[in-house]
Chains A and B, each alone.
Chain A
Amino acid sequence: MTFPGFNILAEGDPVMEHVNDARLFLIDGLSEDGGLSRIGQALFDLGITKHVALFFVAGILTILFFWSYVRQIKNAPGAVPGRWGNLVESVLDMLKNSLVVPIMGESGLKFLPVLATFFVYILICNLIGLVPLLDLLGHGGNTATANIQITAGLALCAFVLYHGMGIKEQGSIVTYIKNLFPHVPLAILPLIVVIELLAHIIRPCALAVRLCANMAAGHVIIAVLVLFTINFTDEFFVGGGVVAVISVVGVTALTFLELLVALVQAFVFTFLTTVFLSMAVHPEH
């Protein structure tokens, strides 16, 4: 069962094979009757593909990220944080001082757990995409956030979060809807209503597409550079070494850039969610 929009980009293309989704355990040369292939096909019929499985693994890693330090605090409250505790505290400190307090003020600190979860989850998903040998799980890309369906799910969570928190903070739905639209003279009110509704629909879509396109584009460029060597050596065997050197240097540099992009895109998603949350909770109109 293929879902609509399963793969926006071309199938079978050797570049896109390393970015797109595929069923689990799709390994070359593995017979279709074997146990692993049957498990992979059964999971695919349930909707679990490689990206979904890696997203789930990232979820477990996010829980472990925070839970290790929480357990350490519970066992020895007031103790000096160890190495892992320092990492967790520096991430939360950065989120608090650069993200929540400048945008939402002190009253936004109750939203810090949700925003930290968004940040760490997306960061771990992006970083898993940079690990090279996950092809043991089968063909297909291993960046879960390069899949528009997964980023659309994350954007939907952010959408529900900011509308839900806005309704909760302002009391009732009627007050919230009245505060959604700025108070302008009656003449241009229909136009303003249309524009604001469009903005509310487009913002989560932009969140989803920004994250997905950034991750997918980075991995496509890396795949193209790696395939330079392969295609060149296929046609002209001599001189493949020179192209291999260029290819490896390019892939190394681009992987460092992808590391920066992974961090920045996680931060930008969380930043925009915080901005929307602050606009919903304290409407400035």
Chain B
Amino acid sequence: MGMPIEFLNVVSGFLAQAATTPNGLYAAIGAGLAAIGVGLGIGKVGASAVESMARQPEIKGEIQLAMILAAAFIEGVGLFAVVVAFLAKG
């Protein structure tokens, strides 16, 4: 019986904190948007890598290397955004 009351307590506490000092909320929204960008970018790289591996299977190794490299760069950009979110959270 106490569980729904606890849940309401936690949620209303979070909403109150988000209304007065929304730093954490804005930071989390920013990090989530960055994740959208990273997902789209790495998806595109993966798709074109797999397609070109299908067209020319002899150079599969080089294509795989290039794909992992490009994915690491795109992920780096996403993590810059996460670091900015952490710094903005205060």
Contact = CB atoms under 8 A, between A and B. Distances in A.
A210 B79 CA distance: 7
Interface stretch (A77-85, A129-137, A176-184, A265-273): A265-273
Interface string B46-90: 000000000000000000010011001101100110110011000
B43 to A, nearest CB: 17
A267 to B, nearest CB: 7
A8 interface: yes
Contacts of A217: 79, 82
Contacts of B87: 8
Interface range, B side: 10 to 19
B69 A268 contact: yes
Interface of B: 65, 68-69, 72-73, 75-76, 79-80, 82-83, 86-87
Nearest to B79: A213
Interface range, A side: 10 to 19
Contacts of B82: 213, 217
Contacts of A72: none
Q: Is the interface of A mostly helix, strand, loop or mixed?
A: helix
B12 to A, nearest CB: 19
Given A98-B65, A271-B69, A209 B79 contact: yes
A9 interface: yes
B76 A8 contact: no
A63 interface: no
Contacts of B83: 8, 209, 213
A70 interface: no
A213 B76 contact: yes
A9 B80 CA distance: 15
A152 to B, nearest CB: 13
Contacts of B79: 209-210, 213-214, 217
B74 to A, nearest CB: 11
Interface in A146-177: none
25 contacts: A8-B83, A8-B86, A8-B87, A98-B65, A206-B76, A206-B80, A209-B76, A209-B80, A209-B83, A210-B76, A210-B80, A213-B79, A213-B82, A214-B75, A214-B76, A214-B79, A217-B79, A217-B82, A264-B68, A264-B69, A265-B72, A267-B69, A267-B72, A268-B72, A271-B69
